[in-house]
Structure 1
Amino acid sequence: MTTDPCQDAPILTELSPADFRAHLPSLLTVYVAAMRYPRGTEYHRAPMWSEHSARAGWQAFAASLPEDPDTVVGIAYGYRGDTRQWWHQQVRAGMRHSGRSPEEIDRVLSDYFELTELHVRPDMQGRRIGELLLSALLRERTEAAVLLSTPEVPGEDNRAWRLYRRFGFQDVVRRFVFTGDARPFAVLGRSLPLEPDLVPHHHHTIGDPDGSGTP
């Protein structure tokens, strides 16, 4: 465990797959609130999130506050990209349709970490929790790059977009419509590792490799 003198700093807990699955209800509550989805969405998402935790290279962090360490206020997870994954196939098709060369597509998609989910409870946003989760998740990744998808918004004017741009994410595909979702998305990416100045230390970190802890 590493500590910091700032008492208001969030606690980040690295989750094992078993711990992640055990606490899916609280993690999905954050997801539904952050995405403003209707109640009940969490029941449809739970099997998919559970399946994700078994994928190669999977890693997850949960965030809580020192004054209430048992309540999750943020969640981030991802895993190593693979040609057999639906998201990989969708992004490959999007890059091809946008005119990227086969060589460039293969270069971008040959070795990457997919940042699958990053969410902070709405009433906890603006406290750098998303920034801390993102840096914790990426700081020790060994892949050459990280990719993600995020909904398009006018002028890139929301917290998620500002965070990703601040971390150096660049356009891979814009205004892409994934199968089954009518909204336009942007696929963004950047090289790894992160620059040292993008790895903040103003938080507590708890490693939980055996799945015995509580996020």
Structure 2
Amino acid sequence: MIEFRGGGPVEFGERLDTVMDIYTAAMRPPPEQITGRTTIMRNHATYPRFQCYFAELREISDMSLGARPAPRVVGFAYGFHGAPGQWWHDVVHRALEDRAGREAADAWLGDAFELAEIHVHPDHQGKGIGRAMITTLCAGRPERSAVLSTHDRPTAARHLYAAMGFTDLLSRYVFPGGYEEYAIVGRPLPLT
């Protein structure tokens, strides 16, 4: 049975090793990127209105014994209020302004919930966990839009975001210093 448990910056920091294990299993980044990614995630927890959810697996067979088993985290998702001065926010706002104009950039990013990371361990993908985490994470958010970046190729994640009503704001976007193409997607909040 999967349960979703919310957490703030402190709990996220306490579970950062577990978070990184899931991230590594799901994304398979080069080993030399792990330290930098860990620092970025730790820093994200300091951003305004940071919120995370953990997808926890509880074995039903263990529950029948009367004891509540310790959960195993199989996924996580987090986001925060995007604001000027945050790297992702600033580079995406600038790129969107260049391609679509300042009004469009302000409309999407002026009051946005930035979904920074959404990952499910590969052993548990395809079971609706990612969708449920996004829905839970976005519920009740005060921002007017939700935005995120994802690899710009036909992945399960890209399909999920489209199915949830996210539309392309930028496609084939390469972040400064990078080489991979990303899609920047957004949708109005609340999710329906």
- TM surpasses 0.5: yes
Which amino acid is 1:172 matched to?
L
* Alpha-carbon distance in structure 2 between the residues aligned to 1:81 and 1:49: 14
Kindly state the Cα deviation for residue 87 of structure 1 after the two structures are TM-superposed.
Answer: 0.7
What's the % identity of the aligned pairs? 36
The answer on 1:171 being equivalent to 2:168 is: yes
| Partner residue of 1:33 out of 12, 25, 31 | 25
Which shifted more, 26-35 or 39-48? 39-48
Across the two proteins, how many residue pairs are aligned to each other?
Answer: 183
Q: Which runs of 4+ in 1 moved over 4 A?
A: none
Kindly state the Cα deviation for residue 149 of structure 1 after the two structures are TM-superposed.
Answer: 0.3
* Alpha-carbon distance in structure 2 between the residues aligned to 1:39 and 1:71: 24
Alpha-carbon contact 2:151-2:158 (below 8 Å) kept: no
**Partner residue, 1:162:** 159
Are the structure 2 counterparts of residues 171 and 57 from structure 1 closer, same or farther at C-alpha, using a change threshold of 3 Å? same
**Partner residue, 2:87:** 86
TM-score by length of 1: 0.81
Q: Secondary structure at the match of 1:72?
A: strand
Alpha-carbon contact 1:11-1:69 (below 8 Å) kept: no
More helix by proportion, 1 or 2? 2
Kindly state the Cα deviation for residue 35 of structure 1 after the two structures are TM-superposed.
Answer: 0.6
The 5 A counterparts of 1:184-195 are 184-195=181-192
Structure 1: tracts of 5 or more residues without a match = 1-7, 196-215
The 5 A counterparts of 1:52-131 are 52-67=44-59, 69-98=70-99, 100-131=100-131
Q: Relative contact order (alpha carbons < 8 A, sep ≥ 6): 1 or 2 greater?
A: 1
Which shifted more, 20-29 or 104-113? 104-113
Please, what is the CA RMSD of the aligned residues?
A: 1.4
* Alpha-carbon distance in structure 2 between the residues aligned to 1:121 and 1:18: 22
The answer on 1:45 being equivalent to 2:37 is: yes
Q: Deviations over 1:126-166 (max 9, x none)?
A: 1111011111100111100000000111xxx3210111011
Structure 2: tracts of 5 or more residues without a match = 60-68
Alpha-carbon contact 2:58-2:72 (below 8 Å) kept: no
Alpha-carbon contact 1:112-1:146 (below 8 Å) kept: yes
